[in-house]
A and B are shown apart, each in its own frame.
Chain A
Amino acid sequence: MNPAEHMESVYLGVVLAPLAGSIVAGLFGRVIGRAGAHWVTILAVGISTVLSLIAWKHIVWDGNDPYNGTVYTWLAAGDLNLQVGFLIDRLSVTMMVTVSFVSWMIHIYTIGYMHDDPGYQRFFSYISLFTFAMLMLVMANNFVQLFFGWEGVGLLSYLLIGFWFKRESAIFASLKAFLVNRVGDFGFVIGIAAVLMYFHSLDYDTVFGLAPTMADVKIQVLAGTDWSLMSFICICLFIGAMGKSAQFPLHVWLPDSMEGPTPISALIHAATMVTAGIFMVARMSPLFELSDTALSMILVIGAITAFFMGLIGLVQNDIKRVVAYSTLSQLGYMAVALGASAYAAAIFHLVTHAFFKALLFLAAGSVIIALHHEQDMRKMGGLYRYMPITWATALVGSLALIGFPGTAGFYSKDAIIEAVHTSHLWGSGFAYAAVLSCVVITALYTFRLFFLTFHGKERMDRHTWEHLQESPAVVTVPLTVLAIPSLIAGMFLVGPMLFEGYFREAIYVAPAHDVLGEMGAHYHGVFGFTLHAFQSAPVVYLAFAGVALAWLMYIKYPQVPGQVAERFSLLYRILLNKYGMDDFNQAVFAGGTRRIGQAFWQLGDVRVIDGVLVDGTAAAVRWFSGVVRTVQSGYLYDYAFAMIIGLLLMLALFVHQLF
């Protein structure tokens, strides 16, 4: 077997192992039992992780050429090719390693978190299947498979948010996530359709190759208006990303998705699925680079998301919701990086964020377990005495999130802010202001959470307090394992990933947009980069200011937050209502749709379809059957007569050429 074939089976193994694990745990869950279900899926995702690392070594370390090949063709009809194929280059291996590794950790953590749940096997089957869908998405070499993975993770997200399907709120949240994502997917499908229509192919290679020739093509979406084809396609695709990666105004589903079990919040709604949109835009960089309009739009939407969602995080009391809003805000950062053409920085932040956000979620989960499923931070406090490992790892996660110098988050976030600063696109000034001010907000809400949970007065009830203890090893080990990359991954990755051409041909940046290249000219190693942050940019000081503010407000003078909320009660209420977007959607979109549906139902369904079509057809069929029954009499002579009539009719028609 030559090395290329050898690697092909490795790639197949990466996706098929979690699929097999999921099928075994899902269909034979009752046979293999609870332990069997977690062993088989953990083993499967473990294999996937190891094979991803082998693929990473093959492509990145050994510097082999990217692999682009089809492994199975299902159907070819005209330009449409439905096939499974892999494009394994530096971008996809990076994602593969991140996705499989984080997923593996969460599989292990789940043993502890879901310990007493009756749906244990179902849960493992779902998260394994999710891993499969996500890997299919990142490894795709064509739009159809991308869409398959895209919808696959959407479906699994729906199933997992509503995992506790007896809870009213969980059902509501899962439905909401599903519906909001449909809005995004609508744009996405139109984008893909436009690609098929104008490029006559859905293969990445072909489409990216043809893209430069399409840069000046104008289309008329509405008669009489000239639109740039590339802008149209890119904006449509980005609308899909807005749904999946929860960008304003399609972000509304993400906070509600916290109704799902905590491992899901960590796996799907922080580390992997929500980054699918970011990944997709980076993958499509040869298309997006051709449209300044689309890039500016991404920049502005990302900046809005980063800033305004961070603000909401300040007033939340549910520990998971704070982390959720923080995720939204960080996704905004990634989108801003994409808009500034700093794709590498976006992926870099995606990777570091996957580690520290999964860590923070799991730490929150650990706290929730210790407090018997209490999620309100007002009933926590002082936990550092009882849960030292959780405390330490949460501290690491928080520092990484605010961008404390040296941690992983520092390098990625600083790079993004610097890249936006360097960008000349329309909207970059606004974006720079937004992301910069968001640093303070991030530090404030992060340490608000940290101080309220682990320090200060112990505010839980007596019964809970008596049972406080550190979580078991299946919880703390993944925490520790995730803490390590959260702390150090940035130092090692910043140079190669951003400035030394790590992604090579996997990401294309137009020379006019090359902000990272510009920054690279001033890059002189990790220490220089760190030192530079102290000397010139205000980022680090802003973060420190945020932490100090949090300390003052929640440890030193805990009465202050209440007074602030009272003093600025209007602003406070606006934030608490999440800018009223949920109410607006509920009233206008949900209510409006229902009213329109009601109207269609009464008029279209009951009258036209049921009345005329269904009952009408049934009556027609009955009448027809009645007629036929007299012909199909059972008498031989009737049958023979029918045959003779048929023969004579055919003779008449064809001999006299009447037909």
Chain B
Amino acid sequence: MIWAPLAPEIALLSAACLLLIIDTLSRDEKRRLTYWLGLAALILSAVLVLAFSPLEPVVLLHGHYVSDPMSAVLKEAICVITIAVFFYAYDYFEEHGLLQGEFFVLSLFAVLGMMVMVSAHSLLTVYLGLELLSLSLYALVAMHRDSPTASEAAIKYFVLGALASGMLLYGMSMLYGVTGTLELPAVSAVIAQEAGRNLILVFGLVFVIVGIAFKLGAVPFHMWVPDVYEGSPTAVTLFISSAPKIAAFAMAIRLLVDGMAPLVSDWQGMLIILSLLSMAAGNVIAISQTNIKRMLAYSTIAHVGFLLLGILSGTRTGYAGSMFYVLVYALMSIGAFGMVILLGRHRFEADRLDDFQGLSRRSPWFAFIMLILMFSMAGAPPLIGFWAKWFVIKEVIAAGYVWLAVLAVTFSVIGAYYYLRIVKLMYFDEPTHLTALKASQEMRFILSLNGLAVLLLGFMPGLLMAVCVQAMRM
């Protein structure tokens, strides 16, 4: 069956449309049906991804869509991460009385957009997926209508996002103008035949890079990140910070590696600048934050800097290292924001650092989970975050940029400060109050699982790495 590789997307699209109708008709205040059906749709498409995961790339839809090992792994990760996001988010919206069916419907559309990005095989599909994802996210940020900060964040995100989209599209049009094709491998092939340096191509490349950098949140295109992270409802922040980064990584690989491999020496230099600025600004500015959502926003920026290290090394193993990094980052990020949700109560967002004071007294177990997450983000062995940094730094050194590796390690040492400060707050400071944590059993279970995964994967990093290397083989 020729359509078989599209099954996950088709299933997800149908489910999202169906859910839209069902949610309109549903009278349940708690939106349980929407929630469970949304979960079911995600699980279904996760299963379909597994069932139709290809060994060789399959190109469909007149060269606009590809299903290959990389797309299978990334889609699977996106689905799994979003499933966890649903668990955390339901708990959050229920506690804060913000339950609306739109969250689940919009999230499904966002996931669909990410899947399209991951499987993109032409400039047009990349853009299509990106827009579907972005528009869903803008709406999600604005979901809490009565909150002025949420609306402000949504407007900022939307305007800047539109600007970045415009730049990306402009860059793509230049690529099309030179090469006369939209298909990524064909673009690459035409560029390879180009004799000498074509300035228009470099021009186009810069604009495309800006689009990618905006989506990833790399400095200096990161300005939206802290404001959006802080302004959105925490459950939405949790979502934005995790799965879309995986899709953005896929976009970078598709555009730069599949589409512009012959320009590697050009984009390598640009990525070095973005990576360095991100690691430096992210880690240093995070230190002076008092809001944990803002702090984690800058931490994301710093992580993106590390993520770019693998891509800029320009080798297959380097891309695999970056892929490993983005998957690990998504896992740690939902854990950390999950902790913020766990500590929150009705009309109270536990988004200040002080809210973590003395957590070890209130809940030793979740203080321990947070400890694992923070140490992992800081990159302490034997946790999985250490291996993520290890692999990309190894690749950077292999690519000959020892100075960059040294700087990366230096910045990660600076970064360790603000992660460890949370640990210090949890274990060495007196709690401001001793109320027990309010959270559903599912939430506790998934969050514990999340933290333990970070711990246990650290003992067998080879497993995940083998998957990444396999996915990046061709």
Contact = CB atoms under 8 A, between A and B. Distances in A.
B interface bracket (residues with beta carbon within 8 Å of A):
35 or more
Q: Give the residue among B202, B203, B220 with the most A Cβ atoms within 10 A.
A: B220
Interface string A222-258: 0000000000000000000000000000000000000
B159 A636 contact: yes
Q: What secondary structure prevails in chain B residues at the interface with A?
A: helix
B159 A643 contact: no
Given A621-B288, A624-B284, A654 B202 contact: yes
B148 to A, nearest CB: 13
A639 B209 contact: no
A147 B273 CA distance: 43
A654 B206 contact: yes
Interface string A377-394: 000000000000000000
A71 B214 CA distance: 46
Interface stretch (A201-209, A360-368, A502-510, A644-652): A644-652
Q: What secondary structure prevails in chain A residues at the interface with B?
A: helix
Contacts of B167: 647
A624 B281 CA distance: 9
Nearest to A646: B220
A624 B287 CA distance: 11
A119 to B, nearest CB: 21
Interface in A89-127: none
Given A624-B284, A647-B207, A654-B206, A632 B226 contact: yes
A624 B220 CA distance: 15
B202 A643 contact: no
Interface in B223-248: 223-224, 226-227
Nearest to B152: A634
Interface string A66-85: 00000001110000000000
Contacts of B160: 636, 639-640, 643
Contacts of B220: 642-643, 645-646
B164 interface: yes
Contacts of B210: 643, 646-647, 650
Given A643-B214, A650-B209, A650-B210, A74 B459 contact: yes
Contacts of B205: 654
B424 to A, nearest CB: 16
Nearest to A624: B284
A610 B357 CA distance: 26
Contacts of A638: 223
A64 interface: no
B397 to A, nearest CB: 12
A650 B159 contact: no
A653 B266 CA distance: 10
Contact of B288 (A622, A639, A654): A622
Contact of A659 (B199, B203, B273): B273
Contact of A628 (B207, B209, B214, B281): B281
A58 B285 CA distance: 63
Contact of A655 (B156, B199, B214): B199
B7 interface: no
A655 B221 contact: no
B52 to A, nearest CB: 33
Interface residues of A, number: 25
Contacts of A646: 210, 220-221
A625 interface: yes
A345 to B, nearest CB: 41
A525 B269 CA distance: 80
A654 B266 contact: yes
A643 B221 contact: yes
B163 interface: yes
Nearest to B272: A659
Contacts of A654: 202, 205-206, 266, 269-270
Contacts of B439: none
A625 B287 CA distance: 9
Nearest to A644: B163
A75 B159 CA distance: 46
Contacts of A621: 284, 287-288
A74 to B, nearest CB: 7
B155 interface: yes
B163 A643 contact: yes
Contacts of B202: 654-655
A651 B206 contact: yes
Q: Give the residue among B155, B206, B459 with the most A Cβ atoms within 10 A.
A: B206
Interface string A614-637: 000000011011001000101010
Interface string A567-579: 0000000000000
Nearest to A620: B284
Contacts of A639: 156, 160, 223-224
Given A643-B221, A646-B220, A655 B206 contact: yes
B430 to A, nearest CB: 24
A528 to B, nearest CB: 56
Nearest to B226: A632
Given A621-B284, A636-B159, A654-B270, A643 B206 contact: no
A261 to B, nearest CB: 29
B269 A659 contact: yes
B159 A640 contact: yes
Contacts of B288: 621-622, 625
Contacts of A650: 206, 209-210, 270, 273
Interface string B150-188: 000001100110011001000000000000000000000
Nearest to B224: A639
Contacts of B462: 73
A650 B171 CA distance: 13
A611 to B, nearest CB: 19
A654 B273 CA distance: 11
B223 A643 contact: yes
A645 B167 CA distance: 13
A645 B277 CA distance: 14
Contacts of B285: 624-625, 628, 632
A628 B285 CA distance: 8
A556 to B, nearest CB: 65
B199 A636 contact: no
A572 B234 CA distance: 77
Contacts of B269: 653-654, 659
A634 B153 CA distance: 10
Interface in B258-307: 266, 269-270, 273, 281, 284-285, 287-288
Nearest to B394: A77
Contacts of A659: 269, 273
Contacts of A622: 288
B270 to A, nearest CB: 6
Q: Give the residue among B156, B159, B223, B284 with the most A Cβ atoms within 10 A.
A: B223
Given A632-B226, A636-B156, A643 B199 contact: no
Contacts of B270: 650, 654
Contacts of B156: 636, 639
B294 to A, nearest CB: 10
A640 B382 CA distance: 41
A640 B199 CA distance: 25
Given A647-B207, A650-B273, 19 more contacts: A74-B459, A621-B288, A624-B284, A625-B284, A625-B287, A632-B223, A632-B285, A634-B227, A636-B156, A640-B159, A643-B160, A643-B210, A646-B220, A651-B206, A653-B273, A654-B266, A654-B269, A654-B270, A655-B206
8 contacts: A625-B287, A636-B155, A636-B156, A638-B223, A639-B224, A646-B221, A650-B206, A650-B210
Interface of A: 73-75, 621-622, 624-625, 628, 632, 634, 636, 638-640, 642-643, 645-647, 650-651, 653-655, 659
When A and B form their complex, which 7 residue pairs have the shortest distance between CB atoms, in order from nearest? A639-B223, A646-B220, A625-B288, A659-B269, A650-B206, A642-B220, A651-B206
Interface of B: 155-156, 159-160, 163-164, 167, 199, 202-203, 205-207, 209-210, 214, 220-221, 223-224, 226-227, 266, 269-270, 273, 281, 284-285, 287-288, 382, 459, 461-462
